Amino acid sequence: MALFNAQKIRSQAAQSLHTIAFEGQSSSDVLANIEFENPSDTSLYKAIVLGSCRYFERLDALSHLLLRKPFKPKDRDLLCLLIVGLYQLEYSRVPDHAAISETVDGCRQLKKEWATKLLNGVLRSYLRQKEALAQQLDHHWDTKFSFPEWLIKRIKPHYKGQVEQILEQSNQQAPMSLRINRMKTSRADFCRSLDEVGLGYSEHPLVSSAVVLDQAVPVLSLPGFEQGMCSVQDVAAQLAAQLLAPKPDQKVLDACAAPGGKSAHLLEFTDNRIQLDAVDIDPIRCFRIQENLERLELSATIHDSDVTRFLHNQTDHYDAILLDVPCSATGVIRRHPDIKLLRRDSDIAELQQIQNEILDAAWTALKPGGKLLYATCSILFEENEQQITAFLDRTHSANLVDLPEALVAISHAQLGCQIIPGTGSMDGFYYALLQKSS
């Protein structure tokens, strides 16, 4: 892991943004390898990178309005540095003079001192024209909400009257939500521990294990975290165990299980009394599943395997299957703003095919009378309701199970439950519960 001093915050942020926006690496991978000597500098660096990803579409368009001619491809690091500067001026609490001087100094760190006067002039020009430029950008939804046009076009037909809400909520900072480990404590007792350390919170009405903090804190400052009293997990993700509701002694599969939050919740839900297979194709992510389970003192059999191949090789059948399939992740953009940069319109058809294959393979591994919960963190109709409709049409042994009225009341789908970002402090998720005919 590289360690940097404070002087390199902006230049490193620009290089990281370049790696994400133009080389296609995820922000999680990029940010994991960078730290600064002072932890507060690391926090500022991460905030700048993620903020620049969140508003990249708008800030990139803004750069085109401000520059007389665009940067050459070999100078895209300077474009990223300019976006880093514009992000600070528009969205951060960094004082204007500090944002400009530190960003301009980033040219020297990038060994492109020739660009210092250019960036200085452009950033100051932005401050003079700020209101007029904002009006220009607000004329178009892609630059107003900083969303790729292709994604807006996919959202619009299925969320009439709610598109702006979805886009606005997807640009908000997601709250920090906790899953209370019912094997070790009750929600009421854990909340008393939060009271004792002065952390504000609310108990979520839909999920009995969920607490939403008023503000994010380091995990090690959470009471009992190291002892496995709680885990960080979005409320919508916590619905999975509650909906599938496996029973003790059942054989259960969590397909595509990493990083293991839902696997752990299934085990907590049943007092660690199910026979759980947790499958994921990535060996590093499988190691993370194991780490999470060890902290929580839970046990499962972890399989490093392609899930479709794993399912085809199964001779035993499962009582319950959680199928959290690979998806566009368009429901969790507020947590992972780089999705707006990494995902492409052409990805959706490929993801649909993968989802189809996994769903069909999982169904063959389900016992008659067993239940399968199809889940995505997507808000796209093509990955969710359309998939379930097609599956029901081609699979006569599949029956849709009614979901709780409280979920139906907030759903934006005719089949299953579609949660949109921000509803009840939750991420965007889709669930459909299916039962196999006996």
Question: Which of 209-222 are b and which e, b meaning 16 or more Cβ less than 10 Å from the residue's Cβ?
Answer: bbbbbeeeeeeeeb
pLDDT for position 5: 87
Give the phi and the psi of residue 369 in degrees, each rounded to 5: 85, -10
Mean pLDDT score across all residues of the chain: 96
3-class SS string, 63-125: HHHHCCCCCCHHHHHHHHHHHHHHHHHHHCCCCHHHHHHHHHHHHHHCCCHHHHHHHHHHHHH
User: Domain spans of the chain?
Assistant: 2-141, 177-232, 235-436
User: Strands (DSSP E) along 325-436, which ranges?
Assistant: 366-376, 398-400, 417-419, 429-436
Instruction: Tell me whether residue 271 is annotated as binding.
Output: no
Q: Are 258 and 288 in contact (CB under 8 A)?
A: yes
With cut-offs at 50, 70 and 90, classify the pLDDT of residue 57: very high
Q: Give residues with Cβ within 8 angstroms of 307, minimum separation 6.
A: 255, 256, 279, 280, 281, 358, 361, 362
With cut-offs at 50, 70 and 90, classify the pLDDT of residue 6: confident
Helices (H) and strands (E) in the chain, counts: 19, 14
With cut-offs at 50, 70 and 90, classify the pLDDT of residue 11: very high
Interaxial angle between packed helices 261-269 and 283-296, expressed in degrees from 0 to 180 and rounded to the nearest 10: 30
Instruction: Tell me whether residue 262 is annotated as binding.
Output: yes
Q: Above 90 in pLDDT, residue 2?
A: no
Instruction: Tell me whether residue 338 is annotated as binding.
Output: no
Q: Above 90 in pLDDT, residue 107?
A: yes
Q: Give residues with Cβ within 8 angstroms of 364, minimum separation 6.
A: 311
Instruction: Tell me whether residue 14 is annotated as binding.
Output: no
pLDDT for position 127: 97
pLDDT for position 438: 82
- Contacts for 39-45: CB closer than 8 Å, 24+ residues apart: 41/4, 41/5, 41/6, 41/9, 44/9, 45/9, 45/12, 45/13, 45/16
With cut-offs at 50, 70 and 90, classify the pLDDT of residue 346: very high
Q: Are 77 and 360 in contact (CB under 8 A)?
A: no
CATH class assigned to 177-232: alpha beta
User: Structure tokens of 387?
Assistant: 């998939």
pLDDT for position 430: 98
Q: Are 59 and 87 in contact (CB under 8 A)?
A: yes
Instruction: Tell me whether residue 261 is annotated as binding.
Output: yes
With cut-offs at 50, 70 and 90, classify the pLDDT of residue 251: very high
User: Structure tokens of 44?
Assistant: 């500022």
Mean pLDDT of 206-225: 96
Q: Quick one: 235-436 is in which CATH superfamily? A: Vaccinia Virus protein VP39 (3.40.50.150)
Share of the chain above pLDDT 70, in %: 100
pLDDT for position 314: 83
Which neighbouring-strand residues pair with 431?
A: 375, 417
Q: Above 80 in pLDDT, residue 1?
A: no
Mean pLDDT of 347-373: 97
Q: Above 90 in pLDDT, residue 327?
A: yes
Q: Give residues with Cβ within 8 angstroms of 394, minimum separation 6.
A: none
Share of the chain above pLDDT 90, in %: 97
Mean pLDDT of 368-376: 98
Q: What is the pLDDT of residues 109-150, one digit of tens each?
A: 999 999 999 999 999 999 999 999 999 999 999 999 999 999
Mean pLDDT of 60-79: 96
Question: Is 377 known to be catalytic?
Answer: yes
Q: Above 90 in pLDDT, residue 101?
A: yes
What CATH number does domain 2-141 carry, 1.10.940.10, 3.40.30.10, 3.30.70.20, 3.40.50.720?
1.10.940.10
DSSP three-state, residue 301: strand
Instruction: Tell me whether residue 259 is annotated as binding.
Output: yes
Rounded distance between C-alpha atoms, residue 329 and residue 324, angstroms: 11
pLDDT for position 4: 87
Q: Are 37 and 70 in contact (CB under 8 A)?
A: no
Q: Are 173 and 213 in contact (CB under 8 A)?
A: no
Q: Give residues with Cβ within 8 angstroms of 144, minimum separation 6.
A: 58, 137, 138
Give the phi and the psi of residue 177 in degrees, each rounded to 5: -110, 145
Give the phi and the psi of residue 272 in degrees, each rounded to 5: 60, 35
Instruction: Tell me whether residue 427 is annotated as binding.
Output: no
Torsion of CA 226, 238, 51, 202, to 10 degrees: -80
Closest CA to 375 of 246, 237, 271: 237
Rounded distance between C-alpha atoms, residue 33 and residue 374, angstroms: 34
Q: How many CB atoms lie within 10 A of CB 3?
A: 9
Mean pLDDT of 267-277: 97
**92 burial via Cβ count (<10 Å: 0-12, 13-18, 19+):** middle
User: Strands (DSSP E) along 340-426, which ranges?
Assistant: 366-376, 398-400, 417-419
With cut-offs at 50, 70 and 90, classify the pLDDT of residue 265: very high
Rounded distance between C-alpha atoms, residue 49 and residue 392, angstroms: 43
User: Strands (DSSP E) along 251-405, which ranges?
Assistant: 251-255, 275-280, 301-304, 318-324, 366-376, 398-400
Which position among 230, 327, 377, 417 bears the catalytic label? 377
Instruction: Tell me whether residue 375 is annotated as binding.
Output: no
